[in-house]
Amino acid sequence: MTTMCDAATGRQELQLATFRAGDWTLAIAIDQVQEINRRIEATFVPHAPPSVRGVMNLRGEVVTVIDLRTALGLGPAEATRHSRNVVVNVGGELVGLWVDQMGDILKIDPSAIAPPPPHLAAVDRRFVAGVYATDDDLVLLLNVEHAVGVA
């Protein structure tokens, strides 16, 4: 996760891509995102872990697509017209995260990120690297390695 230094203010700045999974707003650092697409076709792989939606062709690479809601224990996702596939680079491997809907790009000060609160029961704390409060929402920073189960 790299941070950018704002030349004018001298403050550190972190850009987050946000998206929805179930009732939650989640975020990852934007430089971890390879691309976002709306490709819904995936080849089902029998005997794969339940959170795996399948594999898809991303310009000649076979990429694993993870149903993020299942991975986080929020129940399986449905394919809607808002559904998106967020392709992230996890430890050198491209993995697609199947999310319900994309949100805004947030530019935040990294120091505003708080550790996950102890009462965060709905989502396993291992999946959350920290939280960031906006004016009207609580954004959970996703620990991608843990969430996709490759850590």
Partner 1 sequence: VSIDEQEILQEFVVEATEHLADVESQLLAIEAGGADVDAELVNQVFRAVHSVKGAAGFLQLDDINRLAHSLENVLNRIRNRELVPQSRHTDVMLRGADLLRIMISRLPQPSGVDVTDLRTELDRIADGAEVPEERPTFEALGELHAPQAELEPPFVPADVPPAAERADAALRPGAPEGAAAAVAHDANIRVSVAVLDRLMNLAGELVLSRNQLLQAIGTPDQSGLETAASELDHVTSELQEAIMQTRMQPIGNTLGRFPRVVRDLSAKLGKQVDLQMEGKEVEVDKSIVEAIGDPLTHLVRNAVDHGIESPAVRQAAGKRPQGVIRLRAYHQAGKVLVEITDDGAGIDPEKLKRKALEKGVIAAEHAQRLTDREALRLIFHPGFSTAEQVSDVSGRGVGMDVVRSNIERLGGTVDVESQIGAGTTIRVSLPLTLAIIPSMIVRCRQQRFAIPQSNIAELVRLRPAEARQRLGMVKSGEVLRLRGSLLPLVRLGRVLQFEEPATAHDDGPVHVIVVESGSVRYGLLVDGISDSEEIVVKPLGRHFKGCGYLAGATILGDGRVALILDVGGVAARADFQGASGDEEATDPTTQGEQGRTERQTLLVFRSDPADQFAVPMEVVSRIERVKADALERVGGRELLMYHGEPLPLIAVEDGLPVRPRPQTDHVHVIVFATSHREIGLVAPELADIREIEATIDSETFRARGVAGALAIDDRLTRLLDVFALAEAIHPQWFEQLPASPPTETPRRILLAEDSHFFRTQVAGFLTSAGFEVDEAGDGQEAWETLLEDAALYCLVVSDIEMPRMNGYELCERIKRHAATASLPVIALTSLSSDEHMRRGREAGFDDYQIKMHRDNLLEAVRRLAAGKAAGGRRGGQAVRRQEASV
Contacting residues toward partner 1, per CB under 8 A: 41-49, 52, 54-57, 60-64, 66, 93, 95, 148-150
CA 12 to chain centre: 22
Task: With CA atoms as reference, report the closest residue to 53 among 90, 89, 97, 84.
Answer: 97
Closer to partner 1 at the Cβ: 27 or 148? Answer: 148
Least Å from the CB of residue 52 to partner 1: 5
Least Å from the CB of residue 136 to partner 1: 35
Residue 13: HSE in the Cβ half-sphere, 13 Å Cα cutoff: 12
Least Å from the CB of residue 91 to partner 1: 9
Closer to partner 1 at the Cβ: 67 or 113? Answer: 67
Q: What is the dihedral angle through the alpha carbons of 149, 79, 101, 115, rounded to the nearest 10 degrees?
A: -30
- Distance between CA atoms of residues 45 and 117, nearest Å: 36
Closer to partner 1 at the Cβ: 57 or 111? Answer: 57
